[in-house]
Amino acid sequence: MGMYIGIGRKARKCFGFDDVALVPGSLTINPDEVDISWEMAGRRFEVPIIASAMDGVVDVRFAVELGKLGGFAVLNLEGVQTRFEDPGEVLDRIAAANPEQSTHLLQQIYSEPIKKKLIGRRIEEIIAGGAPAVVSAIPQRAAEFGSLAAEAGCDIFVVQSTVISVEHESSAYESLDFSKFNADMHGCGIPVMVGNTTTYEVTYALMEAGADGIFCGVGPGAACTTRGVLGIGVPQITTTVDCAFARDRFYKMTGRYVPIVTDGGMRVGGDICKAFAAGADAVMIGSPFAKAHEAPGRGYHWGMATPHANLPRGTRVHVGQNASLEQILFGPAELDDGSQNLIGALRTSMGNVGAHNILEMQNTEIIIAPAIQTEGKLLQKAQRIGMAK
Amino acid sequence: MGMYIGIGRKARKCFGFDDVALVPGSLTINPDEVDISWEMAGRRFEVPIIASAMDGVVDVRFAVELGKLGGFAVLNLEGVQTRFEDPGEVLDRIAAANPEQSTHLLQQIYSEPIKKKLIGRRIEEIIAGGAPAVVSAIPQRAAEFGSLAAEAGCDIFVVQSTVISVEHESSAYESLDFSKFNADMHGCGIPVMVGNTTTYEVTYALMEAGADGIFCGVGPGAACTTRGVLGIGVPQITTTVDCAFARDRFYKMTGRYVPIVTDGGMRVGGDICKAFAAGADAVMIGSPFAKAHEAPGRGYHWGMATPHANLPRGTRVHVGQNASLEQILFGPAELDDGSQNLIGALRTSMGNVGAHNILEMQNTEIIIAPAIQTEGKLLQKAQRIGMAK
Amino acid sequence: MGMYIGIGRKARKCFGFDDVALVPGSLTINPDEVDISWEMAGRRFEVPIIASAMDGVVDVRFAVELGKLGGFAVLNLEGVQTRFEDPGEVLDRIAAANPEQSTHLLQQIYSEPIKKKLIGRRIEEIIAGGAPAVVSAIPQRAAEFGSLAAEAGCDIFVVQSTVISVEHESSAYESLDFSKFNADMHGCGIPVMVGNTTTYEVTYALMEAGADGIFCGVGPGAACTTRGVLGIGVPQITTTVDCAFARDRFYKMTGRYVPIVTDGGMRVGGDICKAFAAGADAVMIGSPFAKAHEAPGRGYHWGMATPHANLPRGTRVHVGQNASLEQILFGPAELDDGSQNLIGALRTSMGNVGAHNILEMQNTEIIIAPAIQTEGKLLQKAQRIGMAK
Amino acid sequence: MGMYIGIGRKARKCFGFDDVALVPGSLTINPDEVDISWEMAGRRFEVPIIASAMDGVVDVRFAVELGKLGGFAVLNLEGVQTRFEDPGEVLDRIAAANPEQSTHLLQQIYSEPIKKKLIGRRIEEIIAGGAPAVVSAIPQRAAEFGSLAAEAGCDIFVVQSTVISVEHESSAYESLDFSKFNADMHGCGIPVMVGNTTTYEVTYALMEAGADGIFCGVGPGAACTTRGVLGIGVPQITTTVDCAFARDRFYKMTGRYVPIVTDGGMRVGGDICKAFAAGADAVMIGSPFAKAHEAPGRGYHWGMATPHANLPRGTRVHVGQNASLEQILFGPAELDDGSQNLIGALRTSMGNVGAHNILEMQNTEIIIAPAIQTEGKLLQKAQRIGMAK
């Protein structure tokens, strides 16, 4: 496993969404009759799609709407929703900024201090709307914010940073003790999801530390430039296969099944189908949801690393708003590009490959079939995106 | 066979038209003297090219013209030809629509009910024109429409959907029993062609169920976005090799030779030549025929999944009309891009590789020689398509 | 050697110029002191670059100029030079045609009959200019034109078609007997070069039939669309390696060294250097010479398959004229893109890899280092060719 | 190690920055606490980034500023700084030239003779500014200029040409004896860095000849067209791995640790991180520094092979000036594209992969994950660079 990249040094080849495809099955199934539900920590969700903790995607209203439709959204406790009483005005300014100003403006806006009272208020608003209240913080703030969130009655707590590890060295601050944190939250009846990682080792270790769900994926998102800035990034198919292998092994050793969530880089229904085929139990998406009328970003989205004061990674991306959240999830699709009716696409794909449920979808055949720009396709694509006549 | 895409999981690499090329032979043959005919169910056709069951490509007139030239066209029994007394007016509206409106308009037009009396009428019109009457329906309607078509005297019946399987699970409707259906049609003296599949298993099973010809290919067509929407799609060279392997094995076991037809993704003569080299007995094309003056699409074409009410896959594609059908098949070519004189190209290619007939062409050497965009080629291509000076 | 492209079928991977690169040596040499001469049939040439038998590249004047500089040009006996008393007027019309008209105009111009008296006259004109008179014809006309050319005193005769083979089947016309033809020409003291082929087998067989030089390469030229139209084409590095292997084996078995000439697809000095590294004794180029002020094409060139009446392959390509032939060969280069000072580039490359002569250059290390469009390079290239700011 | 590129001939596959990526570690570290310093010949530098000996990047002022910040710059003794008393006027003219004129103008400017008195003066100016005085010359002039530089008190001497070798054959001039030269400079207490090479063999031999540092990389720079012109070029990851292997082996055999410096082709922080992961002790960059307000190129840069009188390789590249040198090295970054806060990026990357220092970074895992243009990414990139809306 691996090929030489120079004398005495091997590297293994990794694969992303555009490198692979799925294969029709010998059995096919009526799409309406496949089961796409998933479970985490004993809770069952009808829609295996989670909205990313991005300020252009999730606010209270969006979380309520997605919850009603059977999924859930993660509200970022370190974003504009907890820094500003009235985030709407701030989001207006972000949407109105020139491309040149946007990174600088974001850096400025995110320097506003977090108002702790807003943490509880947002959670209560989501609960009042009848949806699961799921909120996130980085490891450094997880202990403090987790406790506040628990008091406010949150349903699931997410600890998320660009790259997570079980062991973090620092003499300047104290690192989060995941085992203790998870135990504390479990004591309040709150499951904990942790991410992001790309490796078997960290996935397994986080499960051992008590995590109830793992986010997989570093660097592939549309708003993310981690690979360009840091050189770090593992293609999502390989990441998902590796983390799923850890999940299956952990289950075999302990009997506890901890779902993994592929996070980042999925733009269309086909990408989502491939993520499940690679082993995901659920997926987290940002960019496709940012196009919903219900999304707070006014047609824009950006990652949480974008406003980093010293080393911004990512950019404000314009996607426009062209459909309701319900249409994006369940159709009818008005576009044929795979960006709408994501659940319909997943059901149809599962029916075509002959998977009765997510577990069977995780074991469907994958082929290597790169979608690279070939002579034949260049003209076609160029025409679609308006580069040629 | 296969390489690791992650821990514990292998995938095999698949190949498409742009990934491969053919090699000149040690023997060459005068192109006028190679034999390109093929047979199905005891019938012989001089031209091994079939027109796709697309409404922008095939109507009665087109079927008649292609039949006279030695090939045949498949008329879709679920398209505008059986939904409208006067399809011309509808095709005018499709051609006149804005790109933004086109998917929506198609969804609307295809919600018009099928008029069963038109099934017989269209078949009779083709027969009156002196050409083979070949018509198609999806599996759910095959039993009913097959019986109507048989009454009207059709020559060949095609059962075709995006992805076909021998076994289909549904509690909401009854699945087609292929063995029974094929036996019924054979009782009327009508051969049955079935598709589309990409796999050895389904090809073999369909042959066992009595199919007389198999269409191979899911997802590669110009008007098709199955791969983007569903993640499903197998590159055509590998598909053809796999299905041809099933055909040869079935022939060895049973003595019955069931031709396979590569369907989708061929834009130019070179692609068609490669399909035969990979093992095809015939090819089915849509986009190249849509450019014929005789094509009903007024310079446009679209797939049958395009107007899907809930999950449209594919798009209306503009190709213009620039030659007669005869010129597209037999030349003289006025363009040098491989889109005209397809039969001349096939003959010349067979002469150059030294293949006396399709059987020998199926065994010519294939090399892996990707036509990807390299530094050297980018400028060249960019110039051709008008992206650079 | 080969990988699976489907069940039961293998193909080998082939390589072109953009797929490989050369490696600096442990020894380096002063470029002025490397020996770039080559020999064929006992004749020695100082410049290992031959001009293609293309009407946009070679006329009498160009052949004379290149001969004086140490190389030689091939005049096509079936082009405008032998169809028209005054080819200049015809070349003016070709240069003045619209892109849409050009293929049709070429088809029309090349339907003018060949005037046999012009064959002798052009040869005499080249000889009068003091350069080697090298002329070409396709196999069907080789016997007749070869005899006329011999009478006129030509120095080398070239038999060249898109794809050559030793055995050609036709009941409509008689195929050329290469052994007899070569013997006849040798009887007149005239060496015969033959092409084009891409394979070990044909190269070896042509050498056995007495050929004095072999042209290698089918399909890669800038003006060539053989791959798109016929599906045929072997990348030039693999072609050259294979044919060079035949040459070396033939030499080992017979003691006769028959040089091979890589023909097609070389645009810049780097491509030429790689051709020698892959095993070429000389190279044949068209497009880079078409840019010379001395080239007859007025800044355009086209292949001999372009004006095919029924199945044109190739296109008229505009390159402009920006330097003298001497500057293109020996510099000084005014451009930094590798299109000028080709001999200087070859010498510098040989010096850097440590090759004293062409034989050593044929054995220098080659690495696989694709020049495909990566994220990093796209912007760079796009900027150069004016696609982005 | 190697695959067949034709009959009887193998080549090994090499890798560049865009072909690979890094993987998050099981341990992570606070970025502020990783150690990025490096040592050469007993001297320690806090910043492992060296500025290229390019006239658009380095003059006295720039060398002083970079030295103050903990790195060092190489001043080219054969550039405008030693050919002109007042290089500013010359640099103004270069910046003002049209793209068409620029290569010719550079050829003319660099034909001005070098004024030897300026060698000492520039070195003294740098020393007066309080920074390390590091200067370079090609091998042919190293003996003479090295002696002048030593007299002026330079800190490090660099012998650099496009391709370096230990053995150079020429009857026209005497080749540099590296062992003697290194010994002479060491006698003056001046370390010698030599380059550029791409191979294990040359790296090892140069270390045996006494070199104190080796520059690795031929052909990959943004301003470099060596690959196109000469066919020569080894992708930087493989080059770095190979040269690092020579360094480690030389250290094992001799106990002397000679750092290697990856030079060329790094545009963003991610590239630099990958160079260290491949084995570099330090990196040399030009293009990213040319964007500094302190760079003398007025927003342009060009390589030393660009003005070659007879065979120019490379081009004047426009990058603009958009940040201070301090901002480029240490941030805060105003752009999110990886071009600013290079040291912050290196620290963050090392923290994420869990490398305490450069030595550990040299052994972090590398994966093969090509950043080629896939369907999904083309639109995204096209939008960023303004090719599509």
Domain ranges of chain B: 3-384
CA angle A173, A176, A180 (to 5 degrees): 140
Closest Cα to residue A323, out of A337, A310, A305, A311?
Answer: A337
How far lies C78's CA from each of B10, B27, B31, C50, C112, in Å?
A: 55, 24, 21, 18, 10
Q: What is the mean pLDDT of chain C?
A: 91
CA angle (A173 as vertex; A172, A177 as ends), nearest 5? 145
Tell how far CA D369 is from the center of its chain: 25
Chains that touch B (3 or more CB pairs under 8 A): A, C, D
- Read off the pLDDT of residues A230-267 as tens digits, 9 standing for 90 and up: 999 999 999 999 999 999 999 999 999 999 999 998 98
Chain A interface, best mutation among D336, D337, D346, by max A CB count within 10 A: D336
- Angle between helix axes B200-208 and B236-254 (nearest 10 degrees) is 40
Q: Check residue A315 and give its pLDDT.
A: 78
User: Are the C-beta atoms of residues C18 and B377 closer than 8 Å to each other?
Assistant: yes
The per-residue pLDDT for range A254-310, each reduced to its tens digit, is: 999 999 999 998 989 999 999 999 999 999 999 999 999 999 999 999 887 777 878
Chain D hits for C349, CB-CB cut-off 8 Å, are 230-232
Quick one: what percent of chain D has pLDDT higher than 90? 79
Buried b (16+ CB within 10 A) or exposed e, B271-285: bbbbbbbbbbbbbbb
Say whether domain D14-384 belongs to CATH 3.40.50.970: no
d(CA B224, CA B238): 18
| Structural contact between residues D190 and D230, judged by C-beta atoms closer than 8 angstroms | no
Output the six-digit token pair for A299.
Answer: 């047609």
Contact D6 C240 (CB under 8 A): yes
Is the pLDDT higher at D240 or at A221? D240
With an 8 Å Cβ cutoff, are D373 and A373 in contact?
yes
Put simply, whether D16 touches A (Cβ < 8 Å) is no
Partners of A258 in beta bridges: none
Chain A interface includes C373 (CB < 8 A): yes
Q: Is the pLDDT of residue A119 over 70?
A: yes
Tokens of C377: 């390079």
- What percent of chain C shows pLDDT beyond 70? 94
Q: Give the ipTM of the model, two decimals please.
A: 0.91
Nearest to C317, CA basis, from C382, C353, C267: C267
pLDDT band at A174 (very low <50, low <70, confident <90, very high): confident
Q: Which chains touch C (3 or more CB pairs under 8 A)?
A: A, B, D
Which B positions 188-207 lie with beta carbon below 8 A of chain A?
197-199, 201-202, 205
Contact B26 C230 (CB under 8 A): no
Is the pLDDT assigned to residue D375 strictly greater than 70?
no
Residue C15 contacts D, CB cutoff 8 Å: yes
Pairwise CA distance, residues B170 & B179, whole Å: 18
**Nearest chain C CA: its distance from A62 CA (Å):** 34
Q: State the count of interchain CB pairs (< 8 A) between C and D.
A: 213
Instruction: Identify the CA nearest to A57 among candidates A263, A264, A298.
Output: A298
Instruction: Determine the pLDDT at residue A307.
Output: 79
Q: Does C237 sit within 8 Å of D6, measured CB to CB?
A: yes
Size of interface A-D (CB pairs under 8 A): 212
Q: What is the block-wise mean pLDDT of chain B (389 residues), using blocks of 10 residues?
A: 90 94 95 97 97 96 98 97 96 91 89 96 98 96 97 97 90 92 97 96 97 92 73 94 98 98 94 98 96 96 81 83 96 85 96 97 94 49 42
Whether B229 sits inside 8 A of A336 (CB atoms) is: yes
Q: Residues with Cβ < 8 Å from C30, sequence gap 6 or more?
A: C351, D168, D169, D170, D171, D172, D173
Pick C267's closest partner by Cβ from B33, B365, B376.
B376
pLDDT band at C382 (very low <50, low <70, confident <90, very high): very low
Exposed / middle / buried, residue D337 (Cβ in 10 Å: 0-12, 13-18, 19+): middle
Question: Quick one: closest CA in B to C162, which residue?
Answer: B352
CA angle, B212 then B216 then B220, to 5°: 155
The predicted structure's pLDDT at residue A110: 93
DSSP character for D216?
E
Above 90 in pLDDT, residue A50? yes
Whole-number Å distance between alpha carbons of D240 and D222: 18
- Taking CB atoms and an 8 Å cut-off, how many pairs form between chains B and C? 214
Interface test with A, best of B9, B197, B203 (most A CBs within 10 A): B9
Q: What does residue C254 show for φ and ψ, rounded to 5 degrees? A: -120, -20
* For residue C58, pLDDT beyond 90: yes
| Nearest chain C residue to D11, by CA | C367
Contact between chains at A12 and D368 (C-beta distance less than 8 A): yes
pLDDT of residue C373: 47
pLDDT tens string C156-214 = 999 999 899 989 999 998 899 999 999 999 999 999 999 999 999 999 999 999 999 99
Minimum distance, in Å, between the CA of residue A367 and any CA atom of chain B: 5
CB D131 within 8 A of CB D68: yes
Residue A38, token pair as written in the block:
């998933």
A143: how many CB neighbours lie within 10 A of its CB?
Answer: 17
**Mean pLDDT of the region A89-104:** 90
Q: Write the residue in C16, C19, C231 that is nearest to B22 by C-beta.
A: C231
Give A221's pLDDT tier (boundaries 50, 70, 90). Answer: low
> Which among C108, C171, C174, C232 is the top mutation candidate for probing chain B, defined by the most B β-carbons within 10 Å of its own β-carbon?
C232
- Minimal-distance CA residue of chain C relative to A373: C373
In contact, B63 and B86? CB cutoff 8 Å: no
Decide which of D333 and A279 is more confident: A279
Question: Is the model's pLDDT at C250 over the cut of 90?
Answer: yes
**Nearest neighbour of B198 by CB, restricted to A23, A29, A348:** A23
Give the strand pairing for B3-6 and B9-13: antiparallel
The pLDDT value given to residue D221:
62
CA C124 to chain B, closest CA, distance in angstroms equals 35
Q: B335 to chain C: which residues are within 8 Å by CB?
A: 103, 312
- Could you give the count of Cα atoms lying within 13 Å of B151 in the half-sphere of its Cβ? 12
Distance (Å, whole) CA A183 – CA D244: 46
Summarize pLDDT for D79-127 with one digit per residue, the tens.
999 999 999 999 999 999 988 788 889 989 999 999 999 999 999 999 9
By C-alpha distance, the chain C residue nearest A375 is C228
**The predicted structure's pLDDT at residue D386:** 42
**Are C317 and B379 in contact, with CB atoms under 8 Å apart?**
no
User: Which of the four pLDDT bands, split at 50, 70 and 90, describes residue A384?
Assistant: very low
Burial class of residue B113, CB neighbours in 10 A (0-12, 13-18, 19+): exposed
How far is it, in rounded angstroms, from Cα A203 to Cα D65? 45
Amino acid at C75: L
Contacting residues of A for D371, CB less than 8 Å apart: 227
Single out the residue of C231, C230, C164, C234 nearest to residue B345, CA to CA. C230
- Using the Cβ of A104 and the Cβ atoms of chain D, whether some distance falls under 8 Å is answered with yes
Average pLDDT over chain D reads: 91
Give me the helices (H) in chain A, please.
60-68, 80-83, 87-96, 99-109, 116-128, 139-152, 178-187, 200-208, 226-230, 236-254, 269-278, 287-290, 325-330, 342-353, 358-361, 375-384
Summarised one tens digit per residue, pLDDT across range D207-238 is 999 999 999 999 776 556 778 889 999 999 99
pLDDT at residue number B224: 60
Percent above pLDDT 70 for chain A: 94
* pLDDT given at position C338: 86
Is the pLDDT at D264 greater than 70? The verdict is yes
Distance from CA of C241 to the nearest CA of A (A): 24
User: Which pLDDT belongs to residue C303?
Assistant: 82
- CB-CB neighbors (< 8 A) of B219 in chain D: none
Mean pLDDT on C20-38:
96
Which tops the pLDDT comparison, B289 or A101?
B289
From the list C103, C197, C203, C224, the catalytic residue is C224
Domain B3-384 has CATH 3.40.50.300: no
Catalytic residue among A224, A239, A262, A364: A224
Integer angstrom CA distances of residue B20 from A98, B278, B354: 46, 10, 18
Report the distance separating Cα C381 and Cα C389, nearest Å.
11
Q: Which of A1, A7, A160, A208 is the mutation pick for testing D, counting most D CBs within 10 A? A: A7
Residue D312, pLDDT score: 78
Per the annotation, the verdict on C198 as an active-site residue is no
Kindly tell me if the per-residue pLDDT of D387 is higher than 90: no
CA distance C299 to C302: 11
Is there a contact between B21 and C173 if contact means CB atoms under 8 Å apart?
Answer: no
Query: Which residues contact residue D202 at a Cβ distance below 8 angstroms, ignoring those fewer than 6 apart?
Result: C24, C26, D164, D165, D166
Q: pLDDT tens, C285-326?
A: 999 999 999 999 999 998 877 778 788 777 788 889 999 999
Enumerate the residues of chain D whose CB falls inside 8 A of the CB of residue A199: 23-24, 26
Mean of the pLDDT values across residues D29-42?
97
- C175/A contact by beta carbon, under 8 A: no
**Mean pLDDT, residues A181-201 taken together:** 97
Nearest to D21 by CA among D265, D270, D285: D270
Distance, in Å, from the CA atom of A256 to the CA atom of A182, rounded to the nearest integer, reads: 15
What are the backbone angles phi and psi of residue C51, rounded to the nearest 5°?
Answer: -85, 135
Q: Count Cβ atoms below 10 Å from residue D261 Cβ, excluding itself.
A: 26
CATH architecture of structural domain A15-384: Alpha-Beta Barrel (3.20)
Predicted local confidence at residue C354, as pLDDT: 97
| Calpha distance B232→C326 (Å, rounded) | 56
% of chain C residues with pLDDT over 90: 79
Summarised one tens digit per residue, pLDDT across range B183-222 is 999 999 999 999 999 999 999 999 999 999 999 999 776 5
Listed in sequence order, the residues at least 6 apart from D186 whose beta carbon sits closer than 8 Å to its beta carbon are: D192, D210
CB-based contacts of D117, cutoff 8 Å, min separation 6:
none
Distances (CA, A) of C175 to C142, C172, C197, C215: 10, 9, 17, 20
Which residues 22-51 in chain B show a CB within 8 A of chain A?
none
When CB atoms are compared, the residue of D15, D271, D344 closest to A311 is D344
Give the residue carrying structure tokens 């590398």: D366
| pLDDT value of residue D376 | 44
Residue A188 appears among annotated catalytic residues: no
- With tokens 């040399």, the residue in question is D284
Residues 263-282 of D with CB under 8 A from C: 267, 271
- Average pLDDT, integer, range C226-239: 91
CA B309 – CA B312 distance, rounded (Å)? 6
Per CB-CB distance under 8 Å, the chain A contacts of C228 are 375
When pLDDT is cut at 50, 70 and 90, the band that residue C223 belongs to is low
Annotated catalytic residue, options D82, D103, D198, D226: D226
- As separate numbers, helices (DSSP H) first and strands (DSSP E) second, chain A gives 16, 18
**Region class of D128: left (phi > 0), else alpha (psi between -120 and 50), else beta:** alpha
Count of beta carbons in the 10 Å neighbourhood of residue D117: 10
- Residues β-bridged to residue B213: B193
Touching check for A383 and chain C: CB below 8 Å? no
Cα separation, A373 vs A290, in Å, equals: 27
